Structure 1
Amino acid sequence: MDQQISDAELDIMKIIWANEGPALFAHIMDALAAKGKTWQKNTVIMLLSRLKDKGYLKAKKTGRRNEYIPLVSETEYQTFQTKKLLDKVYEGNVKGLVSNLIQSDLLTGEEYRELKKLLDGGR
């Protein structure tokens, strides 16, 4: 999973993760259209192929249709990206990241209370 995925590939992965199970090509196209993305069929096929090549998806043939199954969960991807950001921007300093979130008013009051509750409760 050490390969980066593009924003377009991430849009597709979010649809597949939200499906909570295998996603059919038609479902992916419908979900993209609902988000205002009118991509051509060949574009989506190419993006799905790239995601398979990068190890994020596998395709299973069901009759004449492909089912797309995530090989990486959304949580695993988020954790990977968070660690990457933490290392790249904050040199691994979690305190620096959290301080920045708080001091820059990037957290709502509710998010701050939830974060504080998590920190007070420990692991």
Structure 2
Amino acid sequence: MNKSIKRLPDGEFAILKTIWQLPAPTTSAQIMAKLGQSNHWKPQTLLTVLARLTEKGFLESVRKGRERQYTALISEEEYLEVETSDFLKRCSGHSMGGLVKTLFSSNSLSEHELDELRSLLNKES
């Protein structure tokens, strides 16, 4: 796990998540199209967020003709590993057992999710 990865604000994470869903490299026009009609992003705002993600080291930006192409420098799995670790640290004192107890006691887990959890625990044993 890359310890230098910092947690992103929700808006930046939403854009990075969209980029992970597109073939690399991608353009701001392709990102806007993927976000769809109901998105709240204006083109200039998107460009600002893409510049921030590039400055933070999450994206590589290369000019090709009149447009820029963006490539993610961190995988979704790497980022989510950091997010999960940070979440556990903040909410459960770094205890996976504490988190599971909280989810279980609040009835937050469906039967299907409990079955998935049992399956994962059986694989690890």
Task: Work out whether the TM-score is over 0.5.
Answer: yes
| Structure 2 residue runs without a partner (length 5+) | none
Q: Secondary structure at the match of 1:60?
A: strand
Superposed counterparts of 1:60-71, under 5 Å:
60-71=62-73
Partner Cα separation in structure 2 for residue 20 and residue 101 of structure 1: 36
Q: What's the CA shift for 1:56?
A: 0.8
Q: What's the CA shift for 1:2?
A: 3.2
Partner Cα separation in structure 1 for residue 76 and residue 65 of structure 2: 28
Superposed counterparts of 1:47-62, under 5 Å:
47-62=49-64
Structure 1 counterpart of 2:27: 24
Q: What's the CA shift for 1:77?
A: 1.0
Structure 1 counterpart of 2:89: 87
Q: Which runs of 4+ in 1 moved over 4 A?
A: none
Percent identity between matched residues is 33
Q: Secondary structure at the match of 2:68?
A: strand
Q: What's the CA shift for 1:94?
A: 1.0
| Structure 1 residue runs without a partner (length 5+) | none
In the superposition, the TM-score normalised over structure 1's length comes to 0.89
Structure 2 counterpart of 1:6: 9
Aligned residues: 122
In the superposition, the TM-score normalised over structure 2's length comes to 0.88
Partner Cα separation in structure 2 for residue 7 and residue 88 of structure 1: 17
Partner Cα separation in structure 1 for residue 72 and residue 5 of structure 2: 15
Is 2:99 the partner of 1:97? Answer: yes
Q: Which has the higher contact order (CA 8 A, sep 6+)?
A: 2
